[in-house]
Amino acid sequence: MESIEDWAGKIFAGDPRAIGKAISAIENGDPSSDALLKALFPRTGGALIAGITGSPGTGKSTLTDKLALHYREQGKTLGIIAVDPTSPFTGGAILGDRIRMPALSTDEGVYIRSMATRGRLGGLASATLDAVSVLEAAGKDIILVETVGVGQDEVEIAELADVTLLLLVPGSGDSIQSFKAGVMEIADVFVVNKADYEGADRLVREVTALIELAPPENPWTPPIVSTVATTGEGVDRLAQAIGDFSDFSREKELAQARLRRRWRKRLVELLERRLVQSVMEGRVSSEELSGYVEDIVARKQDPYSVVEEMMRRAGLN
Amino acid sequence: MESIEDWAGKIFAGDPRAIGKAISAIENGDPSSDALLKALFPRTGGALIAGITGSPGTGKSTLTDKLALHYREQGKTLGIIAVDPTSPFTGGAILGDRIRMPALSTDEGVYIRSMATRGRLGGLASATLDAVSVLEAAGKDIILVETVGVGQDEVEIAELADVTLLLLVPGSGDSIQSFKAGVMEIADVFVVNKADYEGADRLVREVTALIELAPPENPWTPPIVSTVATTGEGVDRLAQAIGDFSDFSREKELAQARLRRRWRKRLVELLERRLVQSVMEGRVSSEELSGYVEDIVARKQDPYSVVEEMMRRAGLN
């Protein structure tokens, strides 16, 4: 078996097999991933992380590919993570089975990976943040995180990005009325994709009106960039808008504030996981836990009192 | 301020204001909810909990209402929880703003409530389980939990039900191919709603074929019930199918196995929350946590070592 140091060394060198193995370990919640991430940590924090989100059918994958090509032409290396909540309802295949542009999938400067949750403790957002760390340690300049954008998971993933793009398309069910306040907080750049479709102008006007409703203390006014992902139209302007926000964010220390929020949350999650592991492994055996569960099911004890008892046994109260 | 005993007493008496206040406290993660749930616990466990799930537009709310009317005619009391993941993308209004049938909203035997997450620790599924407990303590015979059915949250909510209905409609994007294996595990009853639409027969055949693919060791073969929720057609047969599964499940001790799984998960979640609270409140101050976060952001310490230090300080290792 390979040592953590060797594994980390290969990742620092950008070895795609070592990167892939690391992301699989993260996905599966394999304990080796913690030790690895610890070893990788000093070399993380260097990439620009862009979240690309929006409802299914807005053209996220196509736009992600075009954006990646644009950055490649500038000599930048990329990681692309397509996050897939693996719901049995929507089918796990929305992103996973999609075939990427050949220009990207054969390019050694680009690492592409789909990620699913598989019930990992801490959820999809943590797994994605850890995978981003692996790609940062592998020296990628830019990391594009693409989500299907339908639930709370995606909001959390947006929170881990340095800049978040929200894609909208004209004439979709996506009426602007449905967007409510929450979206203003996560979109740093609005993208009106399929801008050659009917209704694009109206959508731009609606989003403009929505942006004007934002509280005046918001330091950044999100730009609206019109694109046609299939032809690549507008992708250069989109990259410019991403760069602008990134500069602004660093200047105004927004970037630092986001980093702090991100790591505070991650730290609490890690603590949560380790605390439960510690109690479950060392202090309360699996049989004892089953006994507690029996008592609860039989209504002999309530779960709140059981937890208090477990806390006492762990010496915490 | 009202005592927990008085509050619980009002809930036992079915007071809708006291129930509403309890569910709000749960939604907001208010600490009073733990003490209340502890007081309510001995009177929980008595209701039949049915989860109603499926993609948006399959007619869940209409079917839920018709099912509720059916049970009312049999003299049963009901709680209806419409779970809304409050995504900024899909809009929080899908279920919340919907107007219920007047026959239900003016009926004292029915308590109807929409629930959202608001970033509560432990997630939407725990909040829903707690709200179900409140309605059980309030003496409701049947609790219908309706979800929008698009992500992991909904799978977890399905896990807390005694019986889960999965709604499908003909001619939707919902091709049966997209349903993959996971759905077989959560659907106890398949509902082909809008059965008067073209393609309903084909959908029934597709679902039948899917059910036949299930592992032979599965003790229960989910029935397929065709309904037209708008007219109420098939609702009696659906109630019959729910009753059949419920009987089967109790007989074969499936119900007990589900209860055990549900409470084991809930217990670990509660423990998680209490452990983190204990460490954050008693052992590591908010300023110290901020200091750790600064170190991490500055790459002076890695989060994994920080967590180990916090664990040592909590006396757990």
What confidence tens digit (pLDDT) does each residue in B54-81 have? 877 788 889 999 999 999 999 999 999 9
User: Are residues A28 and A116 in contact, defined by beta-carbon separation less than 8 angstroms?
Assistant: no
Is any Cβ of chain A less than 8 angstroms from the Cβ of B178? yes
Is B22 a residue whose pLDDT tops 80?
yes
Structure tokens at B134: 């409140």
B72 secondary structure, DSSP code: H
Angle separating helix axes A60-73 and A235-251, nearest 10 degrees: 80
**Cα separation, A165 vs A167, whole angstroms:** 6
C-alpha neighbours within 13 Å on the C-beta side of residue B15: 12
Residue B222: pLDDT band by 50, 70, 90 thresholds? very high
B101 secondary structure, DSSP code: P
Q: Please give the C-alpha separations between residue A174 and each of A96, A180, B29, B93, in angstroms, as whole numbers.
A: 23, 12, 31, 13
Task: Check residue A105 and give its pLDDT.
Answer: 78
What beta strand segments (E) does A126-278 contain? 142-147, 163-168, 189-192, 224-226
**Cα separation, B207 vs B216, whole angstroms:** 16
The architecture CATH gives domain A45-265: 3-Layer(aba) Sandwich (3.40)
- In DSSP notation, B154-214 reads HHHHHHTSSEEEEEE-TTSS--GGGGTTHHHHH-SEEEE-STTSTTHHHHHHHHHHHHHTS
Mean of pLDDT values over B77-89: 72
**Cα separation, B241 vs B239, whole angstroms:** 5
Single-letter amino acid code for the residue at B59: G
- Residue B113's H or E segment, with its range, is strand B110-115
**Cα separation, A296 vs A299, whole angstroms:** 5
Q: Least CB-CB distance to A154: which of B89, B185, B310?
A: B89
- In DSSP notation, A163-187 reads EEEEEE-TTSS--GGGGTTHHHHH-
**Cα separation, A253 vs A248, whole angstroms:** 8
Task: Check residue A67 and give its pLDDT.
Answer: 97
Is any Cβ of chain A less than 8 angstroms from the Cβ of B209? no
**Cα separation, B278 vs B163, whole angstroms:** 36
Structure tokens at A116: 């699913």
User: Are residues A279 and A289 in contact, defined by beta-carbon separation less than 8 angstroms?
Assistant: no
**Cα separation, A195 vs A202, whole angstroms:** 11
User: Are residues B147 and B154 in contact, defined by beta-carbon separation less than 8 angstroms?
Assistant: yes
CB atoms within 10 A of CB A61: 20
Please write the tens of the pLDDT for every residue from B200-212. 999 899 888 888 8
User: Are residues B59 and A94 in contact, defined by beta-carbon separation less than 8 angstroms?
Assistant: no
The residue ranking higher by pLDDT, B151 or B295, is B295
Q: How many helices (H) and strands (E) does chain B have?
A: 14, 7
Mean of pLDDT values over B83-108: 58
**Cα separation, B139 vs B137, whole angstroms:** 5
Task: Check residue A104 and give its pLDDT.
Answer: 84
Structure tokens at B224: 């397929």
The residue ranking higher by pLDDT, B12 or A264, is B12
Mean of all residue pLDDT scores within chain B = 84
**Cα separation, B311 vs B316, whole angstroms:** 5
The residue ranking higher by pLDDT, B249 or A315, is B249
Residue B102: pLDDT band by 50, 70, 90 thresholds? confident
Pick the residue from chain A with its C-alpha nearest to B301: A42
Single-letter amino acid code for the residue at B241: A
The residue ranking higher by pLDDT, A113 or B85, is A113
Q: Least CB-CB distance to B150: which of A87, A263, A276?
A: A87
Task: Check residue B179 and give its pLDDT.
Answer: 54
Chain B CB contacts of A185 below 8 Å:
88
A305, B267: Cβ pair inside 8 Å? no
Q: How many helices (H) and strands (E) does chain A have?
A: 14, 7
Q: Least CB-CB distance to A297: which of B53, B259, B311?
A: B259
Strongest mean pLDDT among A200-209, A232-241, B124-133, B144-153 = A232-241
Single-letter amino acid code for the residue at B128: T
**Cα separation, B198 vs B178, whole angstroms:** 20
Mean of pLDDT values over B6-10: 97
Task: Check residue A148 and give its pLDDT.
Answer: 66
**Cα separation, B2 vs B9, whole angstroms:** 11
Is any Cβ of chain B less than 8 angstroms from the Cβ of A117? yes
Please write the tens of the pLDDT for every residue from A65-104. 999 999 999 999 999 998 865 543 333 334 444 566 777 8
Residue B9: pLDDT band by 50, 70, 90 thresholds? very high
pLDDT under 70: residue ranges of chain A: 84-100, 117-123, 148-155, 172-185, 317
Residues of chain B with CATH 3.40.50.300: 45-252
Is B130 a residue whose pLDDT tops 60?
yes
Residues of chain A with CATH 3.40.50.300: 45-265
Task: Check residue B154 and give its pLDDT.
Answer: 62
Tell me the shortest Cα–Cα distance from A292 to chain B, in angstroms.
8
Structure tokens at A152: 């709370």
User: Are residues A200 and A234 in contact, defined by beta-carbon separation less than 8 angstroms?
Assistant: no
Task: Check residue B204 and give its pLDDT.
Answer: 92
Pick the residue from chain A with its C-alpha nearest to B124: A152
Extract long-range pairs of B89-92: CB within 8 Å, 24+ residues apart: B89/A53, B89/A54, B89/A55, B89/A149, B89/A150, B89/A151, B89/A154, B89/A179, B89/A183, B90/A55, B90/A150, B90/A151, B90/A178, B90/B56, B90/B148, B90/B150, B91/A177, B91/A178, B91/A179, B91/A180, B92/A180, B92/A182, B92/B116
Please write the tens of the pLDDT for every residue from B155-183. 677 778 999 998 988 876 554 544 544 55
* Residue range B45-252, CATH number: 3.40.50.300
B268, A256: Cβ pair inside 8 Å? no
**Cα separation, B186 vs A203, whole angstroms:** 39
**Order of strands, sheet of A78-83, starting from the edge strand that comes earlier in the sequence:** A110-115, A78-83, A142-147, A48-53, A163-168, A189-192, A224-226
Q: Is the ipTM of this complex over 0.95?
A: no
User: Are residues A273 and A104 in contact, defined by beta-carbon separation less than 8 angstroms?
Assistant: no
Is any Cβ of chain A less than 8 angstroms from the Cβ of B268? yes
Least confident interval from A90-94, A180-184, B123-127, B302-306: A90-94
- Give B180's contacts (C-beta < 8 A, 6+ positions apart): A88, A91, A92, A93
Q: Which of A136, A156, A134 is nearest to A147 (CA)?
A: A156
Instruction: Tell me the pTM.
Output: 0.74
Please write the tens of the pLDDT for every residue from B30-59. 888 989 999 999 999 899 999 998 877 788
User: Are residues B50 and B163 in contact, defined by beta-carbon separation less than 8 angstroms?
Assistant: yes
User: Are residues A273 and A267 in contact, defined by beta-carbon separation less than 8 angstroms?
Assistant: no
Task: Check residue A91 and give its pLDDT.
Answer: 37
**Cα separation, B72 vs B88, whole angstroms:** 35
Is any Cβ of chain B less than 8 angstroms from the Cβ of A46? no
The residue ranking higher by pLDDT, B3 or B311, is B3
Mutate to test the interface with B, among A155, A169, A269, A271 (most CBs of B within 10 A): A271
Task: Check residue A99 and give its pLDDT.
Answer: 60
Residue B93: pLDDT band by 50, 70, 90 thresholds? very low
What are A224's strand-pairing partners? A190
